[in-house]
Amino acid sequence: MSRRVTLKLGVEGHAGAEGVTRDVTVVIPDDEPTPWQLGDRLSIVGRETPRVDGPLKATGAAHYTYDIELPGMLYGAILRSPRPHARVRDIDLSAAKRLAGVRAALEIDDREIRFAGQEVAAVAAISTDIASDALKLVKVDYETMPFVADIDAAMTDSSPRVFGTGSNIGRVGTSSVGNVPRGLEQAASTIEATYTTQVQTHVSLETHGAVASFDSATGELTVWCSTQGIFAVRDDLAVYFNLPPDKVRVVCEFLGGGFGSKFGATPEMIIAARLAKEAGVPVKVMLPRGDEHRATGNRPSSVQAVKLGVDSAGKLTAIDLVQHGTGGIGGGAGSAGPFKSIYRCENIRTEERNVYINAGPSSAMRAPGWPQGCFALELAMDEMARNAGIDRLEFRRRNSDNPVRAIEYEIGARAFGWSEKSAAKKSSGALKRGVGVASAEWHAVGVSGPEAQVIANRDGTAEVRVGTQDIGTGTRTALAIIAAEELGLPIDRVKSEIGDTRFLFSVPSGGSLSVPSNTPAVRHAASRLKDKLFRIAAPMLGAEPNDLEAAAATIRVRANPSRAIAFADVCKRIPGDSISAQGERSPNYDGFRTDQAGCQFAEVEVDTETGIVRVVRVVAVHDAGRIIDPLTARSQVNGGVMMGIGFALFEDRRIDPALGIMVNPTMDDYKMLGSLDVPKIDVTFVEVANGVTNTGVMGLGEVAHVASAAAIACAVSDAIGVPMRSLPITPDLVLAALGHA
């Protein structure tokens, strides 16, 4: 039972740029609301709405996993290997167990240590101090093994092996279209250079951790944890403890950051649950900061050899990338994404290699692979443009065929003042200004899977319940906005409840999936609920249910809005306490586009005497389908830019190759952006009606981060007239590039 609807989709014109609109016919399930399209006038969607859980967060009343305290709860602590590669011969827990206040102790199953910081044993005690005292009493007999903690050394034949006798170089990932050697041959001009990026750690402010509680009466395991995917954690724990999934409940009401590092049941969650099982009381394990840096994930490094060719018309004839990188004992070091799709070229070849070293495992991190790939690609684009004598923005325009990005280039260039700034003569003084531009891309259209429940209560309020979680996006707010819009209610009459596997299923909050995957399910549920309310209201209004609409906190006759009843008065006729409806997320329709573009412009000031780089201004222009809350959306873009500044200038996970240990596992030695480093950031959204779902909303967390470091690196290179091919661009590198070192 489906129907065909023709939608007006695309993007309307902006100052200086033509719009791109077209009629698209999509097939949608019968009771699905018609996707929002160009020209739809919405009441709450698109307006700035402060986040609904803001007051809880601003007053310290929001309860994160770290804040959960249960009666009789113990505190767990984890002993980690100080050695980068070893075999655990024996663990003696007896002295730790004898310490007064210690209630449980365990050994980790895995006996081979592959990085300094890997879990070895754990204890639970009546206080955090006693737990850490007890760790000092655990005796571990290690058989030391040779290790390698340097990527170049790891690639040599004589290197110690990280995994058994296997090579430290993983399987090569390749892609190829056209003929790159021929493309390079045909080029009027070529460039060839190697770009490198560092390892970045997530530094979620709430560390990884969990509170676990086994109920011996029901056999149920309840875990409060800091996670981006409550259902994934539930399934992993069910497998580990051999429980049916319905005997595992996972709760995450508030999450203090994740950035990709908090998917699935992580070791500390399993440890908390094992300790709780052994002790017979709840156990809380929250990682200390150093362990968070060392063991919970990172963005892999990269070494990217790039070749570009361009013809006499300034069109790319070849893009070639051969790269490798290391995520320690983890994979995912590829960075080819941007090379394959941001710019149009008939000949593209990429080769990616993972290199394993004895260091903490990588995990997904905000647009995995893309910030590092975008940095190399965009710096190469700048070098190519200069070589070919073309303005850098014009060079990008000529090689992008995305109509949305074309609009974004125009908006950004005007807001930034690209023509004047890029042509400005460099100062003869010590402070040099420079500008850069970089293009983003992501595909956050969301997936099917989530279901939502929307409830109308007798008191005239509504509730949304979805088993999703809020990584900081403002998920509760987004869901409440959608339900309020559909039900015609003000936002303060709608409550959002999330973060519990007792609610209906949802997908993990990663890949910028949450909002685009959940909002269509909520709108579907709210639309079904509305139909139920219309059936109650119809006799009250002497009308047919089909002739009614919900708007302005009333239910009214569409053709004659003065015939209206207050929404709350309709709710008073609800037979029981409440009525509810369930909605599901349909698969994506064939709408306008499923990709998103975006571009960022940066201006920097480089002190050529000290080498210090200051980012002066960033102009970020982005699209994410329909923007449902420009206020929280802007927060996400600001955050993506700021994390990009950190990646470009400050952050660097350092491992001593001789010792195999991380030398800066703190928040003072691991440098991050602070308030004094924040530039002026201007954010503009280009709204796209994509018709891909009933809301047409796309995610924004990742696309906002892809181009930031690249734009800054391009700007620094422009300022000093030397390409800065290695991140982070620290003062010593700037001085070396200037020949002052």
Please state at what angle helix 708-720 crosses helix 370-388, rounded to 10 degrees: 40
Of 416, 414, 212, 192, nearest to 308 by C-alpha is: 192
Facing residues of 587 across strands?
none
Q: Which one, 55 or 219, has the nearer CB to another protein?
A: 55
Apex 367 CA angle, 226 and 587, nearest 5 = 85
Strands annotated E in 520-630: 548-551, 554-557, 560-566, 578-584, 599-607, 613-622
Cβ neighbours, 10 Å, residue 100: 9
- CB-based burial, 676-715: b 16+ in 10 Å, e otherwise: ebebebbbbbbbbbbbbbbbbbbbbbbbbbbbbbbbbbbb
Q: Which one, 486 or 651, has the nearer CB to another protein?
A: 651
CB of 402 to another protein, least distance (A): 26
CB of 21 to another protein, least distance (A): 31
Contact between 304 and 337 (Cβ < 8 Å): no
CA dist 462 and 488 (Å) reads 11
CB of 669 to another protein, least distance (A): 9
CB of 638 to another protein, least distance (A): 5
CA dist 546 and 535 (Å) reads 9
Q: 437 is written with which tokens?
A: 């531009």
Q: Which residue do the tokens 């290199």 mark?
A: 355
CB of 705 to another protein, least distance (A): 9
Please give the residue ranges that form the binding site for another protein (CB under 8 A): 50-51, 53-64, 66-67, 69, 127-129, 202-207, 254-257, 259, 288-289, 470-474, 631-632, 634-636, 638-643, 666-668, 672-676, 678, 681
In three-state secondary structure terms, 213 is: strand
Which among 410, 486, 584, 702 is annotated as catalytic?
A: 702
Q: Which one, 68 or 482, has the nearer CB to another protein?
A: 68
Q: Which one, 636 or 693, has the nearer CB to another protein?
A: 636
Indicate the pairing of strand 431-439 with strand 599-607: antiparallel
CB of 434 to another protein, least distance (A): 22
Residue type, 582: Q
Of 503, 223, 445, 176, nearest to 336 by C-alpha is: 176
Residues 6+ apart with CB under 8 A from 265: 232, 233, 236, 237, 240
Helices (H), 317-424: 337-341, 370-388, 392-399, 403-416, 418-423
Facing residues of 622 across strands?
685
Please state at what angle helix 392-399 crosses helix 370-388, rounded to 10 degrees: 110
Q: Please confirm, yes or no, whether 702 is among the known catalytic residues.
A: yes
CA dist 267 and 107 (Å) reads 12
Q: How far is CA 552 from CA 556, 562, 686, in A?
A: 9, 11, 28
Q: Which one, 256 or 373, has the nearer CB to another protein?
A: 256
What's the alpha-carbon Rg for the chain, to the nearest Å? 28
Q: Which one, 121 or 683, has the nearer CB to another protein?
A: 683
**Alpha-carbon dihedral 372, 377, 378, 379, rounded to 10 degrees:** 90
Cβ neighbours, 10 Å, residue 331: 18
CB of 91 to another protein, least distance (A): 25
Helix/strand/coil (H, E, C) string of 55-122?
Answer: HHHHCCCCCEHHHCCCCCCEEEEEEECCCCCEEEEEEECHHHHHCCCEEEEEECCCCEECCCCCEEEE
Apex 430 CA angle, 424 and 435, nearest 5 = 35
CB of 647 to another protein, least distance (A): 11
Q: Which one, 493 or 585, has the nearer CB to another protein?
A: 493
Q: Which one, 453 or 636, has the nearer CB to another protein?
A: 636
Q: Which one, 40 or 67, has the nearer CB to another protein?
A: 67
Q: Which one, 29 or 72, has the nearer CB to another protein?
A: 72
Helices (H), 542-614: 567-571
Contact between 7 and 26 (Cβ < 8 Å): yes
How far apart are the two ends of the chain, measured CA to CA in Å? 72
Q: Which one, 419 or 666, has the nearer CB to another protein?
A: 666
CB of 71 to another protein, least distance (A): 12
CB of 208 to another protein, least distance (A): 13
CB of 610 to another protein, least distance (A): 17
Q: Which one, 570 or 641, has the nearer CB to another protein?
A: 641
CB of 534 to another protein, least distance (A): 34
CA dist 96 and 511 (Å) reads 42
How big, in percent rounded to 5, are the helix, strand and coil portions of the chain? Answer: 30, 30, 40
CB of 225 to another protein, least distance (A): 15
Q: Which one, 10 or 639, has the nearer CB to another protein?
A: 639
| Residues labelled as active-site residues | 702
